[in-house]
Chain A
Amino acid sequence: MERDDIIEYSLYNHHDENAGKAIRKKIYFVTLLLTAITVIEVIIGAFVKQSFHYWELVQWGFIIMTLVKASYIVLIFMHLGDENKSLKKMILVPYFVFIIYLIFICIVEALAVHSTWLNY
């Protein structure tokens, strides 16, 4: 028996040719952006040695560029930017809560282990 109370969410994302053109334009823009960031990263990575005194600054630069790339991939390529608010929150909030805590606690512990190795 056909049920008429089921909403077919799979059809929600359909669009026409005009909307498609705009979306493709956005996709090509993101492609260029991701490529450009990668090229910059590789050029810096190939020429900057870790013995340089501004190496730490470069490391932070890499991490920021990575986060920019990651957010474009998630929000545009994975279309999370177009999903509804509760879905966005449900995916991003728990992840960031756990991962930020994990990074914090592990780096603190690692630095403690590091100084222990050096001093004892």
Chain B
Amino acid sequence: MAQHGNSETEVEEASAWGGKVSPFKVSYGKLMMWFFLVSDALTFGGLLVAYGFTRHAFTGNWPIGEEVFRKIPFTEADLPLLYVALMTFILIISSVTMVLAVEAGHRMDRKGVTKWMFATIIGGFFFLGSQAWEWSHFIHGSELGRVQLEDGSLAYVRGEAGKIQKFEITKAGAHHKLGDVITEGLAHKYEHAVAAGRVSKDGSITFHDGAVAKVTKEADKIESLLIRQSGSKNHKVGEKIEGAEAGRYYEEAVTSGKSNRVVFGANLQQNEYGPQQYAQFFFFITGFHGFHVFTGVLVNIIVFFGVIRGLYHKRGHYEMVEKAGLYWHFVDLVWVFVFTFFYLV
């Protein structure tokens, strides 16, 4: 208790509320920051409880992070949760550099405050960048998507998508001439055709304008299908279909001619990873948290310039760093809960 220099943290009870002193022994600004944080914590608490409500009320199978978040930028490796763990670590470390800045401020060490504030801002940017990648990956989805079997069962697909070399137009449309060869944006266009059910039995695809193209493509290597939602008695949740049978099921869905038999990624209308509400809550809660991080970085930058200008040094105390720090730690605190309820539990 005594570590903060003021050995008496308590105010005499008889005179505490009689005016002139603060019963809480903190300045106005810090007290108001705490009030704000309590109300903001209730907001986040409310959002997470709403998520919990939806999840407990839902009767199907809800995905967990290990099943959804498995990729790392710049690699093809399949490593569950590792990237989110890294994001969490970045945020914890930037929280540590912030608390070190506050400590340096208590010693009136201007150089120390400058150094640690700078590190905190860098950490904040790294986190924001990571979250942008995470969202982008979540929206674009996996290479093979999620498949709906003939009986309505939904399954995750594990495997490798075959490389596409080119499209050759065999029937002209409004935007495509006969004999045109397309070599750019192939994977994206092909995914689009698969999701829309525009792949025919011989493997050729139809574009929106009616043009038909012959596809030169290696075969998809489907390793397994994992049943997530049962559509009939034939498939149970958790069942794993492997080998050639998995490939046949996938092929059937791709060439069925019906849209949304294969779904790629998540948005507000459809979700590859699980129930639709899962995506909605993911976007809202991690988005709202990301907005807080963004605000926190802005506040930190403003305070950082104050530190450089010597504004707080002249004032005789670095309490502004402490107040910005409270907000920054709060952002980390919220992430600890978001991490648990979105990625672990």
B-contacting residues of A (Cβ < 8 Å)? 5, 7-17, 19-20, 22-24, 27, 30-31, 34-35, 38-39, 41-42, 44-46, 48-51, 59, 62-63, 65-66, 69-70, 73-74, 76-79, 82-87, 90-91, 94-95, 98-99, 102-103, 106-107, 109-111, 113-114, 117-118
Contacts and interface: CB of A to CB of B under 8 A. Distances in A.
Given A83-B25, A103-B49, A110-B57, 10 more contacts: A8-B317, A9-B22, A9-B26, A16-B107, A41-B340, A45-B344, A65-B340, A82-B4, A85-B9, A87-B24
Interface of B is mostly: helix
Given A15-B3, A41-B344, A73-B329, A86 B23 contact: yes
Nearest to B50: A106
Give the residue among A17, A45, A79, A114 with the most B Cβ atoms within 10 A.
A45
B232 to A, nearest CB: 18
- Of A10, A17, A87, A106, chain B has the most CB atoms within 10 Å of the CB of A10
Interface in B305-345: 316-317, 319, 322, 325-326, 329-330, 332-333, 336-337, 339-340, 343-345
**Residue from the set B6, B316, B336 with the largest chain A CB neighbour count within 10 Å:** B336
Given A38-B89, A77-B95, A77-B99, A66 B336 contact: yes
A20 B89 contact: no
B27 to A, nearest CB: 4
Contacts of A69: 336
Interface string B11-49: 100001000111111110011001000100110011001
A49 B58 CA distance: 19
B24 A86 contact: yes
B25 A87 contact: yes
B24 A90 contact: yes
A20 B24 CA distance: 24
A13 B322 contact: yes
Contacts, number: 194
B82 interface: yes
Contacts of A114: 56-59
A95 B337 CA distance: 15
B100 interface: yes
6 contacts: A13-B6, A19-B3, A41-B340, A63-B340, A76-B99, A83-B9
B330 A20 contact: no
Contact of B4 (A13, A46, A51): A13
Contacts of A17: 107
Contacts of A7: 20-22
A23 B23 CA distance: 25
Interface string B264-295: 00000000000000000000000000000000
B34 A87 contact: yes
A50 B64 contact: yes
B100 A77 contact: no
B96 interface: yes
B231 interface: no
B5 interface: yes
B4 A20 contact: no
